[in-house]
């Protein structure tokens, strides 16, 4: 396959995932801990108009997050709930971060619909790459696309 074909496949997949609500640009996070003691990180959208959490990331997936999000030795005592972005800011527990793009997938059905699960980080913004010293984590994350294809 040539690069043009790969680019076309990527654009098709992005359109499908975006249409299904599975691609998100992240701009902040909150640490938390369940009543069972399980640590998690709540990710919030970079877009100010989106106020509620996007997804919780649990211990097994924290290593996938960009290195500028502290995951070792964290205190998850900030929250047990899912505060809105504004509530978290008012409590002083919201952490701004350079934008990065993630993909999610549907989990099990609940009374409130399907759970949203964290899949992986897809790409880093320029600010996120700069925060990591210009090196993508593990050299596996592509750059943010050119303006106009950003999606948020």
- Domain total in the chain: 1
Q: Is the pLDDT of residue 12 over 50?
A: yes
Identify which has the larger pLDDT, 37 or 137.
37
Give the range of the structural domain holding residue 51, as residue numbers without chain letter.
Answer: 19-139
Q: Is residue 96 part of a domain?
A: yes
Within 37-142, strands assigned E span 39-45, 53-58, 95-110, 113-124
Q: Is residue 8 part of a domain?
A: no
Q: Is residue 72 part of a domain?
A: yes
Q: What is the pTM of this model?
A: 0.81
Q: Is residue 151 part of a domain?
A: no
Q: Is residue 144 part of a domain?
A: no
pLDDT for 77-119, tens place per residue?
778 889 999 999 999 999 999 999 999 998 888 887 788 999 9
Q: Is residue 31 part of a domain?
A: yes
CA nearest to 48, candidates 27, 67, 62 = 27
């Amino acid at each position: 396959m040539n690069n043009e074909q790969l680019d076309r496949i990527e654009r098709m997949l992005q359109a499908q995932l975006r249409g299904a609500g599975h691609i998100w640009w992240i701009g902040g996070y909150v640490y938390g801990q369940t009543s069972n003691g399980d640590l998690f990180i709540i990710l919030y959208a970079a877009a100010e108009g989106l106020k509620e959490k996007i997804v919780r990331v649990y211990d097994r997936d924290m290593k996938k997050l960009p290195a500028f999000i502290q995951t070792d030795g964290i205190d998850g005592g900030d929250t047990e709930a899912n505060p809105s972005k504004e509530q978290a800011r008012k409590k002083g527990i919201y952490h701004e971060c350079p934008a990065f793009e993630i993909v999610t997938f549907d989990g099990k059905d609940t009374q409130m619909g399907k759970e949203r699960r964290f899949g992986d980080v897809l790409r880093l913004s320029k600010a996120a790459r700069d925060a990591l010293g210009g090196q993508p984590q593990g050299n596996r994350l592509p750059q943010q696309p050119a303006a106009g294809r950003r999606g948020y």
